[in-house]
């Protein structure tokens, strides 16, 4: 028993990553300008937009930033509420951001099947009335996978179709949506077509050291980009990598007679 406990305590989660030599090599080989491609997207953003079959995407520092930006972008006018699984990362582990950043009420629901939200759960708890005493649901928030559990494509489709008929947005915390796709639950494009927005993480299962991406339609990403700026989320990742690469090569660069300024 003690041995088992020790073993489980020692199992690493996917939250921490160590860069592999191949990742570091990729940083060194990356092209170093900050040029933007079509539609004001970087090549990485363009690539993810194509992978997901959506119009646009926006690089963000973390999964938390992607989720919270999505809420802030969708939620424009109080009163407003977000309906979600009561075990969601956004509720339990994002420092109350839905309340502080978006000023929205959270409507937590424990799935009646104990596993994932169904359309029946949503219909039971969603607030659609315009009654002045109520706080209407403006966003249905799904998480896939949630603690390793896959939300099936078919159930996602049922919820999404219902939400669209009611004018309610669907955001997915897809930090580990890649895992659901890799497990054969459906294609990335099939899932992403059902969300108004989705956050995908390059960390966790994919193992990169930093970064997440928010995906959605053009107007949504345009507004999210504006809000990203307002919370200091605009940075120059390629310059950052350039600096790191330069510092690796550094000594010979900075100690020689050719004392060029450190790259910005």
Measured distance CA(263)–CA(242) in Å, rounded: 7
Contact between 143 and ligand PLP per CB under 6 A:
yes
Q: Are 59 and 211 in contact (CB under 8 A)?
A: yes
Find all residues with CB under 8 Å of 51, minimum gap 6, and list them. Answer: 188, 189
| Site pattern 69..108 for ligand PLP (x: CB under 6 A) | --------------------x-------------------
Considering only 17-25, 56-64, 68-76, 255-263, which stretch makes contact with ligand PLP by CB under 6 A? 56-64
In angstroms, how far is CA 58 from the centroid of its own chain? Answer: 10
Q: How many residues comprise the chain?
A: 264
Least distance (Å) from ligand PLP to the CB of residue 64? Answer: 3
**Binding piece for ligand PLP, criterion CB under 6 A, among 45-53, 61-69, 118-126, 233-241:** 61-69
Site for ligand PLP in 14-53 (CB under 6 A): 15
Contact region with ligand PLP (CB under 6 A), list: 60-68, 78-86, 126-134, 242-250: 60-68
Residue nearest to ligand PLP (CB): 63
Residues 6+ apart with CB under 8 A from 23: 207, 208, 209
Nearest-angstrom CA–CA distance, 78 and 102: 9
| 141 scored as a contact of ligand PLP (CB under 6 A) | no
Site string for ligand PLP, 163-182 (x = CB under 6 A): ----------x-x-------
Count CB neighbours of 121 within 10 A: 19
Does residue 122 touch ligand PLP according to CB under 6 A?
Answer: no
How near is the Cβ of 52 to ligand PLP at its closest, in Å?
Answer: 17
Q: Hey, which bits of the chain come out as E strands?
A: 56-60, 81-85, 105-109, 137-143, 169-174, 197-201, 212-216
Task: Report if residue 64 touches ligand PLP, rule: CB under 6 A.
Answer: yes
Residue (116 or 136) nearer to ligand PLP, CB: 116
Is the dihedral angle over the CA atoms 177, 183, 189, 190 positive or is it negative? Answer: negative
Short-list 124, 89, 85, CA closest to 107: 85
197 binds ligand PLP, rule: CB under 6 A: no
62 makes contact with ligand PLP (CB under 6 A): yes
End-to-end Cα distance, the chain: 54
Q: Is residue 163 within 8 Å of residue 136, measured between CB atoms?
A: no
91 CB contacts (<8 Å, ≥6 apart)? 84, 98, 106, 108
The nearer residue to ligand PLP, 15 or 256, going by C-beta atoms, is: 15
The least distance separating ligand PLP from the CB of residue 104, rounded to whole angstroms, comes to: 18
Here's the x/- map for ligand PLP, 202-241, by CB under 6 A: it reads as -x--------x-----------------------------
The contact set with ligand PLP (CB under 6 A) reads 15, 62-64, 89, 143, 173, 175, 201, 203, 212
């Amino acid at each position: 028993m003690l041995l088992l406990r020790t073993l489980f305590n020692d199992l690493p989660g996917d939250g921490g990553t160590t860069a592999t030599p191949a990742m570091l090599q990729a940083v060194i080989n990356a092209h170093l300008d900050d040029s933007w491609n079509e539609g004001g997207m970087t090549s990485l953003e363009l690539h993810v937009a194509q992978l997901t079959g959506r119009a646009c995407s926006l690089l963000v520092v973390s999964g938390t930033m992607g989720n919270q930006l999505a809420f802030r972008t969708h939620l424009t006018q109080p009163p407003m509420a977000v309906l979600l699984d009561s075990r969601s990362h956004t509720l339990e582990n994002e420092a109350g951001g839905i309340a502080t950043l978006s000023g929205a009420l959270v409507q937590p629901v424990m799935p009646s099947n104990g596993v994932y939200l169904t359309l029946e759960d949503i219909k039971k708890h969603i607030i659609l009335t315009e009654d002045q005493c109520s706080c209407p649901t403006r966003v249905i928030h799904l998480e896939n996978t949630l603690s390793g559990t896959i939300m099936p494509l078919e159930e996602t489709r049922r919820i999404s179709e219902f939400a669209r008929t009611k004018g309610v947005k669907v955001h997915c915390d897809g930090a580990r949506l890649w895992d659901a796709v890799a497990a054969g639950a459906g294609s990335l494009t099939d899932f992403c077509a059902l969300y108004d927005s989705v956050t995908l993480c390059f960390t966790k299962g994919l193992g990169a050291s930093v970064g997440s991406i928010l995906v959605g339609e053009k107007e949504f990403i345009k507004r999210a980009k504006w809000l990203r700026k307002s919370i200091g989320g605009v940075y120059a990742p390629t310059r950052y990598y350039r600096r790191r690469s330069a510092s690796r090569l550094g000594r010979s660069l900075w100690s020689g007679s050719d004392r060029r300024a450190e790259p910005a």
